[in-house]
Amino acid sequence: MSDLAGLLQYDGSKYAATFQALTDEALLDNLHWSTELNTYADYGLHSPKVKLRVPPVDPVKQRQPQYNTRPEMTRHVLIPPKYGFVDMFGYISLFPLLLGVLRPDSKRLANIVEKLDDPKLLWTPYGLRSLATTASLYNTRNTEHDPPYWRSPIWININFLAIKSLRSYSQQGGEIGALAHEKYTKLRQAIIDNIMRQYWRTGYVWEQYSDSTGEGKGCRPFTGWSALVVLIMAEEY
């Protein structure tokens, strides 16, 4: 945005300042690196224990015809929320890698890359799932009518960013270059194989993919960000 502002002869200093802040590795570590969790994490007021429950029904109202239906489930907090790092390893934990913020010699970069093919976390034979199986909210519903959306499925836009970033780091040489190339090759092949498999099976490119079976889910045909597979396939590696 700063570059575009310059080309159009507008003041892009605010965009430039935002870019500098978002790419400041020291600031990122200060705000989002959790020594206890050994990963980057979100920070805020959070409870790890929540559950959807049917609220109690007023017996007087229940006898009235207009209330003769089950009330919608509501969110109940079982442990009071408190400020701290959120112990939910998922796509949010990968953004310093996805956006190429970390220096190639960063030990924290190697830490993230090494975790990418851990099946207990995000790795599946079909790509990176959105939330680790170890997270308390893994594969849980957001509401009674809103099934898991970013809490397990595989999303091609995020996997594209991971593949793109791994390819970039793989060209740095050294240990991180070799490690990034290994994960890049493995992830790229998994994404291509599954999307093609599901395309030949169903005739569609899908919005998201199941982390347990690889089957297409959500909208179809979804030639939005899932079409990024074409760019992934076109890469020379």
Confidence (pLDDT) at 63 = 64
Q: What is the pLDDT of residues 166-225, one digit of tens each?
A: 999 999 988 999 999 999 999 999 999 999 999 999 999 999 999 999 999 999 999 899
Specify the amino acid at residue 101: V
pLDDT band at 56 (very low <50, low <70, confident <90, very high): confident
The overall pTM is greater than 0.75 = yes
Contacting residues for 117 by C-beta, under 8 A, at least 6 apart: 123, 183, 186, 187
Region of poorest pLDDT, from 29-38, 52-61, 78-87, 217-226: 52-61
Q: Which residues pair with 74 in a beta bridge?
A: 53
* pLDDT the model gives residue 62: 63
Same-domain pairing of 189 and 229: yes
Tell me, yes or no, whether 147 and 203 share the same domain: yes
Whether residue 106 is found in the same domain as residue 75: no
Specify whether 172 is located in the same domain as 187: yes
Do 73 and 168 fall within a single domain? no
With respect to residue 190, please indicate whether it lies within any of the assigned structural domains: yes
Same domain for 147 and 109: yes
- Distance of alpha carbon 123 from alpha carbon 187, whole angstroms: 9
Q: Are residues 98 and 205 in the same domain?
A: yes
Which of 89-98, 113-122, 130-139, 140-149 is predicted with the least confidence, judged by mean pLDDT? Answer: 140-149
Give yes or no for residue 64 having a pLDDT over 80. Answer: no
Please give the pLDDT value at position 73.
Answer: 81
Domain range for 157:
88-234
